[in-house]
Chain A
Amino acid sequence: MNPHDPHRRSTGLAQKALLYAGGELDAAAAHAFESRLAHDPLSQDALIEAVQLSQLLMGGPLRPDPAYRDRVRSAVLSTPASDERPRARFFRRAATLTIACGLLLAAALALPSDRAPRRSSAPLVVQQAASSSSLAHAAPTHRSEDNSQSSALEDEGEKLETALEWAEMADCGEHLQRTWDEELRRKARHRWPVSHEPFAGEGTGAPARGAE
């Protein structure tokens, strides 16, 4: 149980992000997390993932679209239906507010800002959020002002997409695996030929790797 284990650290961060997204952190912890959000890309990624998970749980789409935005807006601004129970209404409001905050945060991270320096490699989810149509409609002036930066972001996204596509295909080294298996069987056969038993003193040594 190494406390410096990166997997363990990222799990703790994911948990904190989920708690933050669910409004479960107390004021001090929430403030600390928000301070970290301002400069720590890992926290930003974790929060985006937490919000996406919340969306998954709600059965909603992962990418925002205008219709979804309208639904969120109407859910937040309109008066509740008369037959809706207060608890359900509160829960729905909390969930939609959380999702909306997450989306706005994703947009804020992706769009240029004077206060925070731009990261050289924004995560894909942030780029997707920034390039999605709903946010583009919400901030058309930003996009027209900063075409070069958005194209740089697109380049980054393309690089990552290329890397991920290569990684997906590179998983299947079937030819080498088949040859290796064949060679292993062959070596085992040579080690213990049919006419000799391994116990006769000539066939020494453990079975080859893979037969373990």
Chain B
Amino acid sequence: MMPSLRRLLPPIGLAAWFLASAPLRGSEPDLPRFTEEREAAGLHFVKKHLPELLPLLEELQRNNKEQYQHQMREIFRTTEMLADLLDEPKRHDLELKIWKAENRAFVAIAKLSSAKDDERKALEAQIHELARELVDLDIHSLEARVEMIERDLAESREEVARLRDNLDKAVKERYDSLLERVKKRKKAP
């Protein structure tokens, strides 16, 4: 019994370690897998847009590989999302600015906990300035959203008007498309 108890300790420890790390693995199903290519892309993005993050990432890479890889995956996902917004340059630029300002604020907040009194005041001033910038960007973002919704609304109204003006033609087109579907069904094996 005694040796078996001793033998049980390592496997129980391993199981505890596995379970302890499970929440982090399970909580990021949407994140892309970490690869060297994605890491390079993420680092390039950070270097180009927010180089002050590089020392923090280096620190994580040295001392906390798991968190480093998680952050690189997050950053890579950010680059992908921003790339998807390129069709709307205004929104893309705003989102990039928001990401930069948010991360500057996060860095300042993170530094605040270990800052000395004189540094603390400068950091608080910086955070206040960034808060102002973020509110300003929020306003611009909402304006861009309103503009986009208005544009979409105008397009939908035009579409309604076009359908009403060409009711018979629209009915004919729809009828043809329905018949086309039947034909496709018959052709299919």
Binding site for B on A (CB under 8 A): 6, 14-15, 18-19, 21-24, 49-50, 53-54, 56-57, 87, 90-91, 94-95, 121, 123-124, 158-167, 169-171, 173, 175-177, 179-180, 182-184, 186-187, 189, 193-195, 197, 199-201, 209
Contact = CB atoms under 8 A, between A and B. Distances in A.
A179 B13 CA distance: 43
A195 B159 contact: yes
A52 to B, nearest CB: 10
Given A53-B16, A160-B64, A195-B170, A166 B56 contact: yes
A24 B7 contact: yes
B2 A90 contact: yes
B102 A201 contact: no
B99 to A, nearest CB: 6
Contacts, number: 158
A167 B16 contact: no
Given A56-B16, A57-B9, A173 B177 contact: no
Contacts of B98: 175-176
A22 B13 CA distance: 10
A62 B78 CA distance: 36
Contact of B78 (A49, A124, A162, A173): A173
A50 to B, nearest CB: 6
A193 B16 CA distance: 52
A62 to B, nearest CB: 12
A176 B114 contact: no
B99 A167 contact: no
B67 interface: yes
A176 B177 contact: no
Given A24-B6, A50-B13, A193-B159, A169 B109 contact: yes
The residue among B62, B65, B91, B113 with the most chain A CB atoms within 10 A of its own CB is B62
Contacts of A56: 16
24 contacts: A22-B9, A50-B13, A54-B9, A57-B9, A95-B9, A160-B63, A164-B60, A165-B109, A166-B53, A167-B60, A167-B71, A169-B110, A170-B102, A170-B103, A171-B74, A175-B102, A179-B91, A187-B87, A189-B152, A193-B159, A194-B156, A194-B159, A197-B177, A209-B84
B81 interface: yes
A158 B114 contact: yes
Interface of A is mostly: helix
B114 A161 contact: yes
Contacts of B110: 161-166, 169
Interface in B1-24: 1-2, 5-7, 9-10, 12-14, 16-17
Contacts of B13: 18, 21-22, 50, 53-54, 57
A57 B85 contact: no
Interface string B121-161: 00000000000000000000100010010001000100100
Contacts of A180: 81, 84-85
Contacts of B109: 165-166, 169
Interface in B42-77: 53, 55-57, 59-60, 62-65, 67, 70-71, 74
B107 A167 contact: no
Nearest to B1: A87
A91 B56 contact: no
B163 A15 contact: no
Contacts of B7: 22, 24
B131 to A, nearest CB: 14
Contact of B67 (A15, A164, A177): A164
B85 A179 contact: yes
